Amino acid sequence: MKRKVIIDCDPGIDDSLALMLALKSEELDVLGITVCSGNVPAKIGAKNAIKVLDICDRKDIPVYIGEEVPLVRELITAQDTHGDDGVGDNNYPDIEGVEPKNGGVEFIVNTLKNEKDVSIIALAPLTNIAKALKLDKDAFANIDEFVTMGGNFKSNGNCSPVAEFNYWVDPHAADYVYKNMPVKIHMIGLDVTRKIVLTPNILEFMSRLGNEKMYNFIKEITRFYIDFHWKQEGIIGCVINDPLAIAYFMDRSICSGKEYFVEIEEEGKAIGMTIVDEFDFYKKEKNALVLTEVDAEKTMKMFMNKIFINNEELIEAMGGNL
Ligand code: RIB
Ligand code: CA
């Protein structure tokens, strides 16, 4: 049975890889892609999402532009990490005849109102999700599950000593979502995503899996990202955060964790920090499942199997190359 999902994102290099995984997975029925500002302004991100749809031959899926600025803060993008164009500055031409629509927030609300068992996988700042909750919280009574790539528990921040980018860009939206989402929030944070590293060895492995178009696109868009990781963190390869949220949604065995009360700091020197009440000081309802352990090899094998060859035996046989 296919599971119906809306993917909210800010493409973004790792968002693009996550969209590829979702679009190539027969388990998912992607009803639509909504884009907010984050890695890049929303309009640029929406064009990148359409580029990924084109690469995956899924231009039938609608792309909606949502919120272009955070709820309160000034927008701070991550174009130093993802390139000015959001996909590694490869100067890709716009896809002929396919335009993003406006009304991303309304699409989320209307889809939840009109369809049963829809889940949302959020890979970006939570601006669109917060705005949709503010617009019509009752619509979320129908939501199936909510998974967010964002936050950090015991892992250090990636845009301040204590904050993860998605929740730091729009901490007011993140805190609003954690206080108002009617279902348990599955938090795929840096504690687990930092272990999902696309290395030169894995890229070389991908080059031999018989799908040149997908390989070339992944190679092209990750070049800029790999250069950034070498400069910023001295690692060879790149952390691909967002695909883990998709992989986890399809296979819960990939990650494990515990339920806690979570809120997000909205101001001050720790702005954007994910506050996880590990010892239940506040005695508040545990609103989030915080994932802290991950099977990184299983994640990368799923990524390659779904995108390239759909042959688990071959991937397993070549697993030693991971
Ligand atoms: O902190 C990593 C997250 O912020 C990822 O979703 C990345 O794409 C950026 O949006
Ligand atoms: Ca993202």
- In this predicted structure, the answer to whether residue 295 has a pLDDT above a threshold of 80 is yes
Q: Which two tokens stand for residue 207?
A: 């080059």
- In this predicted structure, the answer to whether residue 50 has a pLDDT above a threshold of 90 is yes
Predicted local confidence at residue 101, as pLDDT: 98
256 CA distance to ligand 1 middle (Å): 20
110 CA distance to ligand 2 middle (Å): 23
- In this predicted structure, the answer to whether residue 12 has a pLDDT above a threshold of 90 is yes
d(CA 238, CA 241): 9
Which of the two residues, 133 and 320, has the higher pLDDT score? 133
Class of domain 3-195+241-292: alpha beta
Atom number, ligand 1, closest to the C-alpha of residue 14: 8
Q: Which two tokens stand for residue 143?
A: 């939501």
Looking at every residue in the chain, the average pLDDT score rounds to 96
Ligand 1 site residues, Cβ closer than 6 angstroms: 10, 12, 14-15, 38-39, 123-124, 149, 158, 164-166, 241-242
210 CA distance to ligand 1 middle (Å): 29
226 CA distance to ligand 2 middle (Å): 16
What is the rounded average pLDDT of the residues 292-319? Answer: 87
Over the stretch 151-203, which tens digit does the pLDDT of each residue have?
999 999 999 999 999 999 999 999 999 999 999 999 999 999 999 999 999 99
> Which ranges of 194-295 does DSSP label H, i.e. alpha helix?
200-206, 212-233, 242-250
C-beta of residue 280 within 8 angstroms of C-beta of residue 267: no
- In this predicted structure, the answer to whether residue 310 has a pLDDT above a threshold of 90 is no
Predicted local confidence at residue 233, as pLDDT: 83
Which among 19, 39, 158, 198 is the best mutation to test ligand 1's pocket, defined by most ligand atoms within 8 Å of the CB?
39
Q: How confident is the model at residue 316 (pLDDT cuts 50, 70, 90)?
A: confident
13 CA distance to ligand 2 middle (Å): 8
Which of the two residues, 267 and 308, has the higher pLDDT score? 267
Predicted local confidence at residue 315, as pLDDT: 76
**Which ligand is closest to the CA of 7, given by its number?**
2
d(CA 85, CA 228): 15
First vs last Cα of the chain: how many Å apart?
31
The pTM (predicted TM-score) of the whole model is 0.97
**Which ligand is closest to the CA of 9, given by its number?**
2
- In this predicted structure, the answer to whether residue 266 has a pLDDT above a threshold of 80 is yes
d(CA 215, CA 308): 8
Question: Which residue CA neighbors atom 1 of ligand 1 most closely?
Answer: 165
Predicted local confidence at residue 309, as pLDDT: 80
2 CA distance to ligand 2 middle (Å): 24
C-beta of residue 55 within 8 angstroms of C-beta of residue 214: yes
What is the rounded average pLDDT of the residues 278-287? Answer: 98
- In this predicted structure, the answer to whether residue 314 has a pLDDT above a threshold of 80 is no
